[in-house]
Homo-oligomer: A and B are copies of this chain.
Amino acid sequence: MAARLSSAAHYEALLAKYDTWMFDCDGVLWHGDRLIDGAIEVLDLLRSRNKKVLFVTNNATKSRKSYKGKFDTLGVEAHVDEIYGSAYAAAVYVSSVMKLPKDKKVYVIGMKGMEDELRDEGVAFLGGTDPADSTLSPFSLDAFTLDPTVGAVLCGLDTSINYTKLSKAFQYLTRNTGCAFLATNEDSTYPAGGGLLPGAGAISAPLRYALGRDPVSIGKPASTMLDCIKAKVNFDPARTIMIGDRLNTDILFGQNGGLATLLVLTGITTEAEVTGPTASSIVPDFVTQSIGDLRVLGK
């Protein structure tokens, strides 16, 4: 059972045990454009106690640089090299883990942030925001020319998803031998405008269904994201805690990586999913109402 934290002594014990604090962002530090009460003070407090702070997000629509703009707008201190997004992790995966040859390309279903990260990692790509693929006209297979250099299809959240993009990706995945099927993340939904919208997993779902094949998923809860962080940052998993609002992404990610886990209830997970007869089988080490609760330490 998860330990419920509520007193200064509880939080002080946490600070003593963990040197590296990995944060999910939406639902933990903010909701859309609204800061969670106390988030800035708690991050400042952690930094003042010499804790390493990292931000680990499945948001693949923004590059790290552009995601930093979100922190700036909300007045949250963050450095680009503290931010790990699934678009960045996917680009690192393509260049450094699968080591896509330099004469091969990635067909992108995704947005500008994903293109920026691929470009920064020196990965050639097509599709993405290309106006030729931003169309609702019928797709003609007869008029389509298969690019034999496409060695991977990478899917992330793409609010311009359409049948042409799906059809092209399907051709590459069925006709280019060995073409890899990658997804930045498989979140079923994401919070937006006070509700939920279909997430990145819903964007790769048509291909998964048509192919009868699952993508390699990069973001939380996959350990690929943690491997990407490990390649860049020194930290001891035994002294690291992952803080998130989602059991099947954030908390599972921490558990898969051997990290401690702290669930906050300011996001998608409700009290009923943590305790009681309908509780999830994914059990975090610790639960607290809000990250803002740790403010008591600063008093």
Contact = CB atoms under 8 A, between A and B. Distances in A.
Interface of A: 134-136, 138-142, 158-163, 166-167, 170-171, 174-175, 188-189, 192-199, 201-203, 205-212
A142 B194 contact: yes
Contact of A203 (B170, B195, B206): B206
Chain A interface secondary structure, helix, strand, loop or mixed?
Answer: mixed
Contact of A206 (B134, B142, B198, B211): B198
A207 B202 contact: yes
Given A161-B162, A198-B209, A201-B209, 9 more contacts: A136-B136, A139-B159, A140-B193, A160-B162, A170-B196, A171-B195, A175-B195, A198-B210, A206-B206
Contact of A193 (B141, B207, B211): B141
Contacts of A196: 170, 174
Contact of A163 (B159, B163, B207): B159
Q: Can you tell how many copies of this chain the complex includes?
A: 2
Contacts of A158: 163
B210 A167 contact: no
Contacts of A163: 158-161, 198
A66 to B, nearest CB: 15
Contacts of A208: 205, 209
A175 B158 CA distance: 23
A141 B206 contact: no
15 contacts: A135-B136, A136-B162, A141-B193, A141-B194, A142-B193, A159-B163, A160-B163, A166-B198, A167-B198, A171-B195, A188-B209, A188-B211, A189-B210, A201-B209, A203-B206
